[in-house]
Structure 1
Amino acid sequence: MARDQGHSLPVRFAAELLVLALLAAAVASYRFDLGERWFGWGPVDPAAEPALVLPPEGLRLPVSRPAPAVAKAGAHVDVDPAQVALAVNPLLRGKVLGPHYAVLVQDLATGREVFRAGASSIIPASTTKLLTSVAALETLGPTTRFATTVRWSPQSRRLTLVGGGDPFLVRTPASGQGLYPQRADLTTLARRTAAALEADGVSRVRLSFDDHLFSGPEVNPTWPAAYLDDVTSPISALWVDEARADSGYGFVADPAAGAGTFFARALRQAGVTVVGSPSDAAAPAGAREVAAVRSATVGEIVERTLAVSDNQAAEVLARHVGVATGGQGSFAGGAAAVLDTVRELGVPVDGDRLLDGSGLSRSNRLSADTLAGVLRLSESARRPELRQVLTGLPVAGFTGSLQYRFDAGPAQALGRVRAKTGTLMGVHGLAGVADDPSGARMAFVVVADRVDAAVDLDARVRVDRIAAALGACRCGVGSPS
């Protein structure tokens, strides 16, 4: 009897172990959804795998069909040079535009020249931003985002705020509320950093800031010193609110230091003890990224830059182009890379000269053909990655830097002209596209760069009226005038 009990003990013990194993497996399967994940048992989570959710019993869905075209492509309408001349020539009479100007009109689709008058090369002012924008979209891609990161070095207990060249980085979420495009902010970055440090058991740090993505001088040597009062800030890979001073007027002298100071304050508010003042230093090799915020896309940045003629954003984009093409993220490197990129896209730039990406330098020189060439590129169906240059152009009488213009001239032009403005002292210009009522589509450039101060406003109005004449004329071949 005792022998029989001895033989049964291992059997009973094995059976109990098997029962316990089955119970453990059941609990694990329930707790971690192993049955569903491994064998497809159980319900599908519609939030995680919506494509696997079956329709209700008895539901019959219609067979899907291709969506109809929103609008059919219109037939090309040739531009009549005679009609363009009739519209433009009367507005070139007199001395309002001064002794040096350029006017060029091309068929937007074919590039055929239909009207030309004046000089072969002009000071482009902010129409330069067309080239910078095309180069940025081509080299960086329209969906690229710039990351502002925080890196942690445990050995030195040092945290480094690293600028990634986000031109629209702001202080707080409220600073960017309601603005296009959406802004990344340093307050959110500080909160994410504090959470990451807390998870690592870190509560006390020293702080540095790193703006070394770009190189060279922060202020272009060809710009007048007065520009730093209210036109543009020093250019940096790290700033907040485009380096605007807290007073709301003018700019800070050291944008990166300003960003570092604000970030230190935001970290303290998030519960991190920051020892001393932030210092300017590159992130140590091997420092670990603990938090990041990302900018709007390059395409969105381009649209905003063109719409409001944002000088700082244009300069940041130009420097990114310089870095992306293997050159220098400096004024000279960025400008050279912009011209090289435009040339590689097939637009002749012989004789052109750029010293910045915004057009603030009066030493810049571009031909009207170059400006028209980049406009045609942005409109081309073969270059969809450049489309946001066209969609970013201000609309006459409605948006951006043209919102309060075009109040003189034919009302039919309102909404039919999209153009980039170009304004410096003594310089007034527009470069854009006009879609007239007859279906003719034109790329045009109108720039006067030696305007007498006595007729400065009159010259700007005259430039607008030339563009408006194109938007209102019936310049299509065979159209009644």
Structure 2
Amino acid sequence: MASSDEERGSGRLKRAFGGFVVVALVAGGGVAWQTGWAEQQWDDFRNGQSGVPADPAAVAPPPEVDVPDVVLPGAVAEPANGLGPLNPAALKQALGDLNDTDLGAHVLAAVGPLDGTGIAYEKAEGAVTAIPASTTKIVTSAVALFLLGGDKVFKTTTVLDRSGTTPTLTLVGGGDPFLSSSAPEPATAGSATFEPKRASIRTLARLTARALKADGILSVQFAYDDSLFSGPAINPTWEPGYVPDDIAPITALWVDQGRDPDGSGRVMAPSVTAAELFRKVLARNGIKTTGRTGHAVAPAAATPVSSVSSPTVAQIVQRLIEVSDNSAAEVLLRQIGVADQGAGSSAAGQAGVERVLAANGVKFGDSVLYDGSGLSRDNRLEPAVLIGVLRMAAADAHPELRPLLAALPVAGFTGSLANRMDRGPAAGRGRVRAKTGTLSNVSSLAGIAVDRDGNLMAFALMADRIKDPKETLAQTALDNAAASLGACSCGR
């Protein structure tokens, strides 16, 4: 099965929060650690200040949930081993659930201070890498934010070539993962606390028709251009059943992430489906298209007609991480390839990922990734890679990566963790933010936690040899272990 954590969540949360949640993870001396993806919120926490959530993505536990206060410790000198104040023995005791036999024969884990360099707790059995599943999205999102910047948008455009007898209008895909077939109003998926405003291909068609008519043009030849992305549209390492049931072929031009208009799975030619919809709306708005829809690369000298823009990369990451959006992750991987390697292929994207991580001191070691979503069962990651990426996102040198940390679902409250971590220590709820990972026989969690002493830590927990009847029990064991990090007193 594909990543089953995609698009899961609880409508109960939206009703309880009204779209706004602030989780007070640290509240001693007027200090609050708040959810949300605004950079200011993270800086307020680091600087010992309080703040008001600046974005709809900022979300607070329901009134009935008591999230305990945590008093920040005084200044603690950093030990030479880079472990900060973390106590390895206390962490080992807290993570006793990782010894649960339901997790199978291969369990890897690592925990270290978010601001440090060392690993305070490590569990390794056999191979040093494991299948990461959707925790891969942490890596993809971090590199996308690093290379593209949080304010970057992707434009879907129309251009006109007047060189022929009849002008040729070309619809050019810009790799917008959320381009919609409907009006650009926020969606209402139950699992998301934040919905970015999506660009609409219908809006683009109407704007284009208006511009053409203003120029006296009522008839055009029509083509579409999806050449921004290259290479196989279907990742060769994916299980055959994933396409089109769980994900569409990845193209630079699609609507509704390639979903079939009749609601049955995905289409096999997303670019064609998008182009035909655009053509129909164009006709309804008074522009005649002659001949068949062509597939072409728009001439460089063509005149721009109109455009619509995607949400920002920061908003895409917010949504992608919170609901584990496979399609958006794969599009971002190709945008990484375009930005770093000059090619919009999955392979180019992975080359960009490895280059950026290496340049920032995150050692890939024996790890290997073949996609951006974690659908590939050939992916392998060392837990330390995930720790390194989370530390990179928290570093003062990389404020542009803050949206990644703030997008991580809050244990027991938001996104793919809305209905999880409810069986472990109650004090852990609200103190843990993590990305889930789920494939058949695979479960993983990676994120950040703050313990009772106010110690911030990064963690990665992975199990990839879970027996079929034990998958739910194994997921609970990982949840309990992660919750225990928030509930423990793991300082020295």
- TM class, shorter-chain normalised? 0.7 to 0.9
In structure 1, the residue corresponding to 2:103 is in which secondary structure?
coil
Q: CA deviation at 1:282?
A: 1.2
Corresponding position of 1:79: 86
RMSD of aligned Cα (Å) = 1.6
Q: CA deviation at 1:411?
A: 1.4
Q: CA deviation at 1:199?
A: 1.4
Q: CA deviation at 1:252?
A: 0.6
1:173 alignment partner, one of 158, 183, 187: 183
Corresponding position of 2:28: none
Q: How many residues align?
A: 408
Are the aligned partners of 2:145 and 2:401 in contact in 1 as well (CA < 8 Å)? yes
Please say which of residues 155-164 and 271-280 is displaced more in the overlay.
271-280
1:158 aligns with 2:168: yes
Corresponding position of 1:107: 113
Q: CA deviation at 1:229?
A: 3.7
In structure 2, the residue corresponding to 1:208 is in which secondary structure?
strand
Corresponding position of 1:92: 98
Q: CA deviation at 1:277?
A: 3.5
In structure 2, the residue corresponding to 1:113 is in which secondary structure?
coil
Distance in 1, matches of 2:332 and 2:157, equals 19
Q: CA deviation at 1:407?
A: 1.5
Distance in 2, matches of 1:149 and 1:341, equals 30
CA offsets 1:304-342 (integer angstroms, 9 cap, x no match): 111111111111111111111134211211112112111
Distance in 2, matches of 1:382 and 1:368, equals 23
1:118 aligns with 2:124: yes
Distance in 2, matches of 1:163 and 1:229, equals 21
* 4+ residue segments displaced more than 2 Å: 69-77, 174-179
Distance in 2, matches of 1:168 and 1:377, equals 27
Corresponding position of 2:376: 361
1:337 aligns with 2:352: yes
Q: Any stretches of 5+ residues in structure 1 without a counterpart? A: 1-68
Are the aligned partners of 2:432 and 2:447 in contact in 1 as well (CA < 8 Å)? yes
Higher relative contact order (CA 8 A, sep 6+): 2
Distance in 2, matches of 1:255 and 1:98, equals 39
Q: CA deviation at 1:175?
A: 5.9
Residues 148 and 174 of structure 1, relative CA distance in 2, 3 Å threshold: closer
Q: Which residue identity does 1:85 align to in structure 2?
A: K
Q: Any stretches of 5+ residues in structure 2 without a counterpart? A: 1-42, 49-71, 77-84, 189-193
Q: CA deviation at 1:366?
A: 1.0
Distance in 1, matches of 2:198 and 2:291, equals 29
Corresponding position of 2:18: none
Q: Which residue identity does 1:82 align to in structure 2?
A: A
Are the aligned partners of 2:387 and 2:459 in contact in 1 as well (CA < 8 Å)? yes
1:459 alignment partner, one of 456, 460, 474: 474
Corresponding position of 1:207: 222
Please say which of residues 210-219 and 176-185 is displaced more in the overlay.
176-185
In structure 2, the residue corresponding to 1:150 is in which secondary structure?
strand
In structure 1, the residue corresponding to 2:249 is in which secondary structure?
coil
In structure 2, the residue corresponding to 1:340 is in which secondary structure?
helix
Corresponding position of 1:136: 144
Corresponding position of 2:135: 127
Q: CA deviation at 1:117?
A: 0.8
Please say which of residues 450-459 and 221-230 is displaced more in the overlay.
221-230
Q: CA deviation at 1:76?
A: 5.6
Distance in 1, matches of 2:291 and 2:470, equals 56
Sequence identity percentage: 46
Distance in 1, matches of 2:375 and 2:286, equals 43
1:256-271 to structure 2, matched below 5 A, reads: 256-271=271-286
In structure 2, the residue corresponding to 1:164 is in which secondary structure?
coil
Are the aligned partners of 1:207 and 1:278 in contact in 2 as well (CA < 8 Å)? yes
CA offsets 1:382-419 (integer angstroms, 9 cap, x no match): 21011111011111111111111112111111111100
- The higher radius of gyration belongs to 1
CA offsets 1:143-163 (integer angstroms, 9 cap, x no match): 111110000011231100000
2:365 alignment partner, one of 342, 350, 370: 350
TM-score, normalization by structure 2: 0.80
TM-score, normalization by structure 1: 0.82
CA offsets 1:68-95 (integer angstroms, 9 cap, x no match): x966525566122121111113x13342
Distance in 2, matches of 1:286 and 1:174, equals 30
Are the aligned partners of 2:184 and 2:199 in contact in 1 as well (CA < 8 Å)? no
CA offsets 1:349-393 (integer angstroms, 9 cap, x no match): 122111111111111111111010001111122210111110111
Q: CA deviation at 1:177?
A: 4.6
Residues 357 and 398 of structure 1, relative CA distance in 2, 3 Å threshold: same
Q: Which residue identity does 2:95 align to in structure 1?
A: V
Q: CA deviation at 1:174?
A: 5.3
Which has the larger share of helix? Answer: 1
Are the aligned partners of 1:261 and 1:277 in contact in 2 as well (CA < 8 Å)? no
Q: Which residue identity does 1:112 align to in structure 2?
A: G
Q: Which residue identity does 2:116 align to in structure 1?
A: T
1:425 aligns with 2:440: yes
